[in-house]
């Protein structure tokens, strides 16, 4: 059987493991259910193309096992009922690939022209189907909470969803298609990396090639290096941070941040937390208002409770400490729990870790890189060896000292600019004034100024009880701050408010 042979001859150990696991799931399903009781949901996409060939191989191996036959030939027909939900908004390339594949591999295609739910209801009423094979993978929005065998959801007709490639990464999919040299839909060679309908899918901008001619060109899908971004052509992806900022907060100018440190060593006084201070300064310098800093124990529940609280009241939560492979590194588990999702192996992330700890990595394992499922976005920057982890409005920083934080911050700033949210991370200008007026004398002009310039942040502090008061004015542009300073100076005698360097 050509697929089994191609994988057998390949030297890609990881692909072999993935293949064997998927074949195991398929052959178990074929043992549990009769051939009339299973169906394959095929839509011509890359994931279902992988599954098509895995099913062909799995069926062949299953039959071989049953008959102990030594036949090594191919398959001229494919006996698993194959369903395709055809829609007027499908790409013509997808339709023609689906029909061509059906012809090439002897597939009897059941074309369903209803929505998924009604179509499945009718199908299950008319046939004894009990299990349906799907090309769903972890990372797909619909994969959340699914296992390799997952009963259909409440409200759906009852059947078993069988997901043999649930734990495959984008890279695994392409490794398989290219190793087996099988045909796939032509759109993938034109920069499409994940295909929905004609209304919501464009080529992935990350594959765009700079070309002098007027027509934009794209590299093929298998060249996308960060598989996490395979859906970048599916949704309008112009926000890494802005998207997650709640609509309420967009009404007020200042964005709210919360900073959380995780570490028993900080609480016991064994280690000093320098990151919190540095992060607060950085956030303030770009116009954010830090609402709270907290230090937590290395405890899943402490982390989840605090993250849950902060994520609902702040625009963005920054958390650091407790990130890594040690037993005490529970931050990601806490974040997952706060969002009510589980930790799931993330192969794109493992790929990055592999470069760091290659000698400890067997190539088969994928448990080492577990991330909160369905809510994680990896923010990769070429200056970082491991991407930053973003779970909705929680950013998990891996930094353990201020130098590392500096670098992560720089990358985060650049990445969020790339994401189109320039105004959120741009440096906010500020001006500091010093005055020897007393608190009582300064209070009134300052509160009036606050009313006149509601868009300017006014902060006051002193370095010693007897020393001068320092007034900090921060805003979106210099002109506005200068006007505020001028207005303040008009309220008192000349020379009372002195600029500080």
Ligand X SMILES: Nc1ncnc2c1ncn2[C@@H]1O[C@H](COP(=O)(O)OP(=O)(O)OP(=O)(O)O)[C@@H](O)[C@H]1O
Ligand Y SMILES: Cc1cc2nc3c(=O)[nH]c(=O)nc-3n(C[C@H](O)[C@H](O)[C@H](O)COP(=O)(O)O)c2cc1C
| Interacting residues with ligand Y (CB under 6 A) | 41, 85, 116, 120, 132, 134, 142, 152-153, 156, 161
How many CB atoms neighbour CB 12 within 10 A? 15
334 binds, among ligand Y, ligand X, Mg ion, none (CB under 5 to 8 A by kind): none
Which residue, 33, 87, 83, 95, is CA-closest to 58? Answer: 33
Which lies closer to Mg ion via its Cβ, residue 195 or residue 224? 195
C-beta of residue 375 within 8 angstroms of C-beta of residue 391 = yes
42 binds, among ligand X, Mg ion, ligand Y, none (CB under 5 to 8 A by kind): ligand X
Q: Which of residues 118-137 bind ligand X (CB under 6 A)?
A: 134-136
Which lies closer to ligand Y via its Cβ, residue 142 or residue 312? 142
Q: Which of residues 83-102 bind ligand X (CB under 6 A)?
A: 83-85
Which lies closer to ligand X via its Cβ, residue 104 or residue 422? 104
The encoded tokens of residue 357 equal 């700890």
| Sign, CA torsion 176/178/179/183 | positive
Asked if residue 135 binds Mg ion (CB under 5 A), the reply is no
Which residues does 280 contact at the CB level (< 8 Å), separation at least 6?
259, 290, 293
Question: What x/- string results for residues 388 through 427 when contact with ligand X is judged by CB under 6 A?
Answer: ----------------------------------------
Asked if residue 82 binds ligand X (CB under 6 A), the reply is no
Residue 166: CB minimum distance to ligand Y, A: 13
C-beta of residue 394 within 8 angstroms of C-beta of residue 335 = yes
Which lies closer to ligand Y via its Cβ, residue 87 or residue 293? 87
From the list 80, 195, 245, 481, which residue makes contact with Mg ion (rule: CB under 5 A)?
195
The encoded tokens of residue 288 equal 């954010």
Q: Which stretch binds ligand X (CB under 6 A): 42-50, 314-322, 412-420, 446-454?
A: 42-50
C-beta of residue 455 within 8 angstroms of C-beta of residue 253 = yes
Which lies closer to ligand X via its Cβ, residue 195 or residue 240? 195
Asked if residue 163 binds ligand X (CB under 6 A), the reply is no
27 binds, among ligand X, Mg ion, ligand Y, none (CB under 5 to 8 A by kind): none
C-beta of residue 44 within 8 angstroms of C-beta of residue 97 = yes
Asked if residue 218 binds ligand X (CB under 6 A), the reply is no
Q: Which of residues 177-216 bind ligand X (CB under 6 A)?
A: 194-195
Which residue, 143, 102, 147, 110, is CA-closest to 129? Answer: 110
From the list 1, 14, 18, 42, which residue makes contact with ligand X (rule: CB under 6 A)?
42
The encoded tokens of residue 392 equal 């909705």
Which lies closer to ligand Y via its Cβ, residue 34 or residue 142? 142
Q: How far is CA 9 from the centre of its chain?
A: 34
From the list 45, 263, 334, 419, which residue makes contact with Mg ion (rule: CB under 5 A)?
45
The encoded tokens of residue 303 equal 């982390």
163 binds, among ligand X, Mg ion, ligand Y, none (CB under 5 to 8 A by kind): none
24 binds, among ligand Y, ligand X, Mg ion, none (CB under 5 to 8 A by kind): none
Which residues does 243 contact at the CB level (< 8 Å), separation at least 6?
none
Element spanning 151, H or E: strand 149-151
Which lies closer to ligand Y via its Cβ, residue 51 or residue 173? 51
81 - beta bridge partners?
39
The backbone region for 190, taken as left when phi is positive above 0, alpha when psi lies in -120 to 50, beta otherwise, is: alpha
> In terms of DSSP bridges, do strands 288-296 and 255-262 run parallel, antiparallel, or are they unpaired?
parallel
The encoded tokens of residue 139 equal 């990372």
46 binds, among ligand Y, ligand X, Mg ion, none (CB under 5 to 8 A by kind): ligand X
CA distance 196 to 158: 25
Binding residues for ligand X, rule: CB under 6 A, are 41-43, 45-48, 83-85, 134-136, 140, 194-195
Binding residues for Mg ion, rule: CB under 5 A, are 45, 195
């Amino acid at each position: 059987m050509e697929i089994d042979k191609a994988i057998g001859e390949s030297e890609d150990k990881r692909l072999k493991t993935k293949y064997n696991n998927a074949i195991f799931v398929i052959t178990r399903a074929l043992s549990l259910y009769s051939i009339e009781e299973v169906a394959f949901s095929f839509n011509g996409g890359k994931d279902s193309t992988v599954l098509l060939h895995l099913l062909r191989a799995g069926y062949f191996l299953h039959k071989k096992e049953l008959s102990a036959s030594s036949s090594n030939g191919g398959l001229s027909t494919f006996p698993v009922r194959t369903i395709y939900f055809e829609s007027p908004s499908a790409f013509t390339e997808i339709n023609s690939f689906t029909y061509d594949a059906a012809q090439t591999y002897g597939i009897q295609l059941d074309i369903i022209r209803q929505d998924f739910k009604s179509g499945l209801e009718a199908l299950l009423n008319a046939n004894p189907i009990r299990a349906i094979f799907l090309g769903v993978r972890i990372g797909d929005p619909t994969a959340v909470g699914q296992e390799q065998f997952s009963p259909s959801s409440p409200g759906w007709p009852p059947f078993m969803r069988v997901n043999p490639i649930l734990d495959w990464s984008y890279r695994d999919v392409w490794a398989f298609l290219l190793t087996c040299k099988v045909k796939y839909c032509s759109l993938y060679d034109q920069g499409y990396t994940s295909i929905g309908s004609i209304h919501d899918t464009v080529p992935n901008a990350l594959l765009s090639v700079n070309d002098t001619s007027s027509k934009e060109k794209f590299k093929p899908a298998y060249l996308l290096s960060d598989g996490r971004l395979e859906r970048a052509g599916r949704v309008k992806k112009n926000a890494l941070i802005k998207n997650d900022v709640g609509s309420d907060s967009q009404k007020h100018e200042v964005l709210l941040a919360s900073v959380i440190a995780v570490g028993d060593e900080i609480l016991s006084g064994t280690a000093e937390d320098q990151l919190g201070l540095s992060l607060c300064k950085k956030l303030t310098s770009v116009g954010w208002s830090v609402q709270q800093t907290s230090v937590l124990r290395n405890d899943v529940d402490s982390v989840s409770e605090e993250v849950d609280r902060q994520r609902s009241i702040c625009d963005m939560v920054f958390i650091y400490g407790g990130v890594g492979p040690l037993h005490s590194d529970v931050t990601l588990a806490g974040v997952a729990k706060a969002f009510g999702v589980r930790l799931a192996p993330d192969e794109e992330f493992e790929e990055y870790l592999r470069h760091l700890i290659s000698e400890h990595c067997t190539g088969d394992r994928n448990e080492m890189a577990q991330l909160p499922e369905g809510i994680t976005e990896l923010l990769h920057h070429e200056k970082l060896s491991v991407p930053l982890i973003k779970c909705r409005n929680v950013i998990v920083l891996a930094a353990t000292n201020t130098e590392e934080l500096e670098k992560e911050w720089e990358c985060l700033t650049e990445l969020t600019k790339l994401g189109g949210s320039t105004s959120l991370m741009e440096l906010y200008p500020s001006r500091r004034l010093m005055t020897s007026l007393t608190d009582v004398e300064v209070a009134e002009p300052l509160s009036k100024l606050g009313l006149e310039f509601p868009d300017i942040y006014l902060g006051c502090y002193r370095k010693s009880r007897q020393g001068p008061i320092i007034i900090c004015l921060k805003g979106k542009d210099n002109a506005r701050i200068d006007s505020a300073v001028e207005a303040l100076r008009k309220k008192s005698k000349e020379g009372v408010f002195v600029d500080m360097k």
